[in-house]
A and B are shown apart, each in its own frame.
Chain A
Amino acid sequence: MHILFVLPLAVGVIAGASSALAQNQPADRGELLFDIGGCTNCHTTREGPALAGGDPIVSPFGTFYPPNITPDAATGIGGWSDADFIKAMREGISPEGDPYYPAFPFTSYTHMSDADLIALKGYLDTIEPVEASSPDHELKMPVWPYLDIPLDLRVALWGWRWLFFEPERFEPVADRDEVWNRGAYLTLGPGHCAECHTPRNLFGALDHARDWSGNPDGAEGENVPAITADAAGIGDWSEGDLSLFLQLGMLPDGDFAGSGMAKIINNGTSKLPDEDRNAIITFLKNLP
C-alpha cells in the first residue's frame, strides 16, 4: 500500500512548480498547525487585520461572529495561559468555564496533542495584537427553522455536549504505518476536514455513522461533496489528482474549487511540506 512513494511523474513535476510558487512555507510547527488549522478562514475578515475577528458564519442555528484571537489582552486572547488555550481547543470550554458553540471546530481540534497546541499558541502570540470586539452571535432555535426566535443557547450547550461531545486525543492506530497515522492526525485534528465533509444531525453534531459522505446543507448553504473511497466520493481520483487538488484546487475535470475548500487549500494544504500533504492523501485514499 505504499502507493505514495511511486506517485506519477506528473505530481513530481507539479511539486516542482509548487516549490517555485511557495513563498509562504511555514517556518515552524506552530505556523504549520495554524495554516492547516484554517484559523484565518474564520477569524479574519476579507479586508481586516489578521485574526481580529471574522466574517459572520451563517448556519441553520443562526449567525456566529468569530471572535478576536490576536494577543490583545483586553479584546483578544492575550491574557490566556497555555492551560486556558488547551482547554478551549481540546474541551471547548472558555477560561470563564462557559462552553463554546461547535461552530468553533474544537470538536476536531480536540484530537491535537498538548505539544502541538502549545506550539500553535506560540505562533498566535507572534501575531500583531489588535483591539477589536465581534458582535454577539444571533441564534435561533434550530428545530423550528421557520421561527427566528432570538436565543442564547449557551446553557443548552451543556446538554449538547453531554449527548455529542467527549474531549479526545488522537491515538495512533497500531496496525497502520507512520504515514497513514500522520495523515489521520492532520485530517481529523488540525485539518478539521470532517467538519464539512461529514453530515450533521438535527442538532448540528457530526453524524459519524455517515463519516465523509458529504453535507448537502453545509455552512453558507454549500453542498459539500463526499470524499469516501467509493464512486460517490473520490474513489476514481488518482493520488496525482489529489495532490494537484490539495496544491492548486484543480479538479480532475479542469474546474477549480471555490469558497470553503479554496480557503482550506490556499491557506492550508497548499502550504504544507510534501510529506504532510502526501500523508493526508494516503489517509484519504484509505477511507472506508
Chain B
Amino acid sequence: MKFRTLALAAVVFAITVPTGSGAQEATGIVAYRETAMKALGAHSGALKSILTDQTQLMDQVGIHARAIADIAAAIPAMFPEDSLDPPTEALPSIWEDPDGFQAAADRLAKLAGDLDAAAGSGDAQASLAAFAAMGKDGCGGCHADYRKKN
C-alpha cells in the first residue's frame, strides 16, 4: 500500500478542493422555524423522560402531545416558497412536493393526537408505542424527505 500511496501523492499534490463556509446565524423565518422545531424537540425530550423514567407524571403526557399537535398544524406556514437562506437545513423538495410536505405535517398532528388519546386512557405501554410511532413516522418521516443535515 505504501507505494500506491506515494504514487497517489505524486498525482494529487497540487490539487485543492473548495469546501463549505463557516458557521452562520439563521435569520428571519428560518430562525423562527428552527426555534419552533427546537421546541418540538424539547417536547419530545420531555415525553421520553416521562415515559421511560418519570412515569408517575403520566398525566402530563397530554400537555406535550397537544402542544406538538398544535405546532404540527402550523408547520407548512413556516416554510414560505423558497425560504432557503443559509444555514437552513430545509430541502427544495418541500416546494417541489407541497402536498407531500403538508401530508407529513398532518401525519405528525394525527400521531400526536393518538398519543394524547393513549395517554388519556392511562395505558403506559400503549402511550410508549404511540410515542415511538409519533417520533419515527411523524418527526423522522418528514425529516427523511425534507431536511438534510448541515
Contact = CB atoms under 8 A, between A and B. Distances in A.
Interface of A: 9-10, 13-14, 16-18, 20-21, 46, 60, 143, 145, 162-163, 202-203, 216-217, 220-225, 244, 247-250, 253-259, 261-263, 265-266, 270
A258 B144 contact: yes
Interface string B105-117: 0000000000000
Contact of B12 (A143, A222, A248, A256): A143
A100 B20 CA distance: 29
A20 B140 CA distance: 18
Interface of B: 4, 7-8, 12, 15, 17-20, 37, 40-46, 48, 51-53, 89, 91, 125-126, 128-129, 131-133, 135-136, 139-141, 143-150
B136 A270 contact: yes
Contact of A254 (B19, B48, B145): B48
Tell me the interface secondary structure of chain B in the complex: helix
A244 B20 CA distance: 31
Contacts of A265: 136, 140
B95 to A, nearest CB: 16
B148 to A, nearest CB: 5
A250 B150 contact: no
A172 to B, nearest CB: 23
A202 B148 CA distance: 23
Given A202-B15, A254-B42, A255-B41, A163 B48 contact: no
Contact of A258 (B17, B128, B149): B149
A221 B19 contact: no
A216 B20 contact: yes
B21 to A, nearest CB: 11
Contacts of A203: 8, 12
Nearest to A18: B132
A10 B132 CA distance: 13
B2 to A, nearest CB: 12
Nearest to A262: B144
Given A20-B129, A163-B4, A163-B8, A256 B52 contact: no
A248 B143 contact: no
A248 B48 CA distance: 12
B143 A262 contact: yes
Given A250-B44, A258-B149, A266-B140, A143 B129 contact: no
Contact of A10 (B40, B42, B52, B143): B52
A247 B4 contact: no
Query: Which 10 pairs between the two chains have the least Cβ-Cβ distance?
Result: A258-B143, A254-B45, A262-B144, A254-B41, A10-B52, A256-B139, A20-B129, A249-B140, A258-B147, A254-B44
A113 B133 CA distance: 34
A27 B51 CA distance: 30
